[in-house]
Structures are given as C-alpha cells and as structure tokens.
C-alpha cells in the first residue's frame, strides 16, 4: 500500500486514478445524456447480471448538476458541464482488495486487522471542497444530479451521504451512511433506523431541546466507505481513526462551517445543516438492501444551511436495493467483525463469508477445523452476538469453500442431521428493515446450522481431484481448443 499522504490519495479521485491506471477495464464512462430516472441504476444491474461490476461515471445525468451559476456567484469559476455522477465504486472485491494491496481472499482478514489499528487524524487548514460556498437563496439541492433509482422510491435519494455529528455529551464524533430523501431546495428526509450512534446523538440533543448539527459528506474513497461500516469499537474512538488505520496513514480532515465539525478534507461536496429535534415528516418508501421497498423510517428531517464543493465536483451515488455497490462492503465488514469475535475463543476458525445474495447481512458462513463437538454451536452463538443483522449462521469444515454456495449446500445436504444439528433462538432482536421481523418489536427467530462432520467416529470420505490432475486437465482442454 502506498504511504503517500497527499490529499487526493485519500479521496474518491485518488481511487478513480488507481482504477484507471491498474484496472482500466473496470472504469466505464457514459458520455451521452441519460435520464435521471432509473437509467444509472438499471445499467449497473444489467452489468451485474452479466457478471461485471465496474466503476461507472455518467457524464450527464439529464442536465442535472449544472451549478455553474451558483458556483460563480460564490466566487468559483463556472463549471463547463453538468456535474458527473460516479457510482458503483464499492461493488468489486478485486478493487476493494487493491485499496488495501491484498488479494481478494485476504480481504476480510486484512480489514479485520487494519480497522483495529486506530490512527489519530490530521487536521489540515483547508478542505478541497472550499472552492465554492453556496448558501441563502442560491442553495438549491434539487439541482444536484440525484438519481431516482426505483419506481417505488418516494423521491430521488442521496444515497452516498455520510452524516457526521458529535455526541452532545462526550464530544466524540461519528460518521456513517443514512438515506436522504430529497424534499426541497434545502430539506431532506432522514431515517436513523439503524438505532446506532447517530440515532443516540440525535436523541440526546433532542432531550436538551436542541437540533443536532450535522455535515453531509459526498464523494469519499472506498476505504472511508468500509471504515464507516465498522460498528464494534470503543466509544471513545473516532470512526475517522478507524479509517486512518485502513489507509495506513492519519486521515486528513478539515473543519467545516457547522459546529466546527471535522470532515474528510478530500471530499467532493459538504452539505452543512442540522437534524431538527422534534420534527417528523413522512420519509420513504425506499428500495432497501433487502430487495424490498421499505416503509420503515424514523422520519427525521435535515435542513441544509450551506453547500461547499470542489470547483469541478463529482457527485457520488450508491446504487440502492441489492446492488453490490450497496451491500458488498457490508459483506466484507461483517466478515471481518465476525472473524474478529470468533478468533478470540476459537482460533481454529479459518474463515467467514457473508454472501451478497443474502442481502449482505442475514446469513454468515463459518469455516473451521473442528477439534471437538460443541465448537460449531459456540461459533454460531458468537456470530449472532456480534452482528445484529445476522439471523442464520452455517458452520462447515475447512474442506468446504465458503465462497462457493454450491459447496456450502453440499455440506448441508450431506453432513446435517436436522434433529441435532439445527437449533433456534426465538425472540431475538433483528434488523428493523428485515421484512420478516415483527413489525412492532422487530424481533426474529435466529437459526444455527452445524454442517460439520462428527468427531470421534468414521465418516464418509469426500471425493477430491488432486490439484496437479486439475492443472493437467485444464492444459489438455486448452490444447483441444476448449479454454477455461
């Protein structure tokens, strides 16, 4: 991993430069004008169906993003063209692994190790987003290139908005994704349904009769994306320190104009404002990571006071629904956090996989070298206690490829005795957005499956083909004109 601390090395631009240089086939530019309704989302999903997950840059989203008049009024040079929309930056394991300079197979382990190496941040005098400051009557969020992603969505949504706020009691800040529904020139609907730190910060501020000062950051590096998804960390640690650990260098921040909040200095756009204390308005539905329309929301309201941006700003959007751009990072972060928890008491665990096809959350597959009966059950309980969203845990032997669901289901089919290898945890707290959770209590029944071979007795021997024989077979087929 490069040790450069140049501002752009920690930015969305730095990531795009890396992709263009090292993975040119994984960066697609769409130069023709496209409809802001559905076109960018549909294109990403069609590519996924074809087995591809490139970063995409849409140069003209229906003419939206032409902020030249506002930027000029704010003292910046006018934009020559509409603001490009960048999407699908976190949909490709190979690119995310390249950000950490590791192989795809080593990605969860590298993430697990580096996100525990907290690094103090560096505050620089000026953010790259200070080229233009737009406020007052000039502020109009409807002119940003915000796509409408699904026909069920109540409005266009800012999906890549990282909210930053401080705990009113401790002063420690946090940052994370929250969906932002466009309601007007300076008004956004917000849902804090994860009930984590941001929800608690707002609750504490509201208890004092105060609005919560918030900065929305748009256009960040995928390592920021990944670090912001970490949930198991000490309360006095800043997420920006976790992100610095992923970069292997102090994360560079700059103070913005709302409550002196510190935000990534290399970001593209900052929207400054506050979440109102006691105001609730309808928000949603929205196409969520479950693959369903979600009507569940805390119905909070953000009011924008000011927008700051780079002169040639890029607008970052995350493709919603079950797109890999939306949930692949969740897969990797959950793999890393569950692996971290398991390794404390079960060093014989060899890997964890959270499949994209299970909404990047609901199912975890654990591989282990079992040494005694009861270890798979320990692994299941530890995983369920680590990750709120996980509700199914499957434990397999280390001869099973946890990244190949065919192999996993083979293990379930041939090694599970249902009467003793499947157990349930009823009434457990689940994800609010899980459509199968109770609509009042949000509880679910969670399940563990032990798909490992029994110990202490003979078991059927698995059929395998030696790696040398596989290599010879591939060579034979290639000579026969059948490349693999």
Query: pLDDT, tens digit, for every residue of 318-356?
Result: 999 888 988 898 899 899 889 989 998 999 999 999 999
| Apex 266 CA angle, 260 and 270, nearest 5 | 50
Distance CA 78, CA 87 (A): 24
**Would you list the domain boundaries of the chain?**
7-321, 344-451
| Architecture of the structural domain at 344-451 | 3-Layer(aba) Sandwich (3.40)
pLDDT in tens, 412-464: 999 999 999 999 999 999 988 899 999 889 899 999 999 999 998 889 999 88
Q: What mean pLDDT is predicted for residues 283-311?
A: 93
Beta-carbon contacts of 484 under 8 Å, excluding residues fewer than 6 positions away, are: 474, 477, 478
Omega prior to 285 cis, within 30 of 0: yes
Whether the predicted model's global pTM rises above the 0.75 cut: yes
pLDDT in tens, 54-95: 999 999 988 787 664 555 545 555 455 789 999 999 999 999
pLDDT in tens, 411-421: 999 999 999 99
Tokens 């969740």 belong to residue: 330
Alpha carbon distance, N-terminus to C-terminus of the chain? 32
Report pLDDT for 233: 83
Q: Is the pLDDT of residue 477 over 60?
A: yes
Does 7-321 match 344-451 in CATH topology?
A: no
Q: Is the pLDDT of residue 4 over 50?
A: no
| CATH code linked to domain 7-321 | 2.30.110.10
pLDDT in tens, 188-225: 999 998 778 999 999 999 999 999 999 999 999 999 99
The SS3 of residue 15 is helix
Distance CA 268, CA 309 (A): 6
Distance CA 408, CA 403 (A): 8
Hey, which residues does 300 pair with through a beta bridge? Answer: 190
């Amino acid at each position: 991993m490069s040790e450069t601390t140049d501002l752009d090395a920690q930015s969305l631009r730095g990531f795009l430069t890396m992709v263009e240089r090292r993975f040119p086939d994984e960066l697609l530019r769409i130069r023709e004008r496209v409809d802001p309704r559905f076109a960018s989302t549909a294109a990403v999903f069609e590519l996924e169906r074809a087995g591809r997950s490139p970063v995409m840059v849409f140069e003209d989203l229906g003419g939206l993003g032409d902020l030249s008049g506002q930027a000029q009024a704010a003292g910046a040079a006018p934009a020559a063209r509409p603001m490009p929309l960048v999407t699908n930056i976190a949909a490709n394991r190979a690119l995310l692994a390249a950000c950490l300079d590791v192989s795809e197979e080593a990605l969860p382990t590298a993430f697990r190790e580096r996100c525990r190496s907290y690094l103090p941040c560096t505050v620089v005098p000026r953010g790259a987003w200070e080229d233009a400051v737009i406020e007052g009557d000039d502020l109009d969020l409807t002119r940003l290139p915000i796509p409408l992603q699904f026909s069920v969505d109540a409005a266009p949504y800012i999906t890549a908005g990282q909210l930053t706020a401080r705990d009113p009691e401790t002063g420690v800040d946090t940052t994370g994704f929250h969906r932002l529904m466009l309601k007007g020139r300076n008004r956004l609907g917000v849902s804090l349904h994860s009930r984590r730190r941001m929800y608690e910060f707002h609750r504490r501020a509201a208890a004092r009769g105060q609005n919560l000062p918030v900065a929305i950051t748009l256009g960040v590096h995928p390592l920021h994306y990944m670090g912001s998804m970490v949930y198991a960390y000490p309360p006095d640690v800043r997420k920006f320190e976790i992100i610095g650990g992923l970069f292997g260098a102090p994360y560079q921040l700059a103070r913005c104009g709302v409550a002196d909040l510190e935000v990534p200095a290399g970001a593209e756009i900052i929207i400054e404002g506050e979440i109102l204390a006691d105001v609730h308005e309808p928000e949603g539905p929205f196409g969520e990571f479950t693959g369903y329309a979600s009507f569940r929301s805390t119905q909070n309201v953000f009011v924008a006071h000011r927008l700051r941006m780079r002169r040639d700003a890029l607008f970052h959007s995350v493709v919603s629904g079950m797109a890999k751009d939306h949930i692949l990072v969740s897969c990797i972060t959950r793999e890393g956090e569950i692996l971290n928890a398991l390794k404390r008491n079960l060093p014989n665990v060899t890997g964890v996989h959270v499949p994209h096809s299970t909404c990047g959350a609901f199912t975890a597959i654990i591989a282990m070298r079992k040494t005694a009966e009861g270890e798979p059950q320990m692994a299941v309980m530890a995983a369920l206690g680590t990750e709120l969203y996980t509700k199914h845990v499957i434990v397999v032997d280390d001869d099973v490829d946890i990244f190949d669901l065919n192999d996993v289901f083979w293990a379930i089919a041939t090694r599970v005795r249902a009467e003793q290898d499947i157990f349930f945890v009823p009434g457990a707290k689940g994800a609010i957005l899980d459509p199968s959770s109770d609509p009042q209590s949000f509880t679910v029944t969670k399940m563990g499956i032990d798909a490992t071979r029994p110990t202490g007795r003979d078991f059927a021997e698995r059929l395998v083909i030696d790696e040398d024989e596989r290599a010879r077979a591939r060579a034979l087929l290639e000579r026969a004109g059948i490349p693999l």
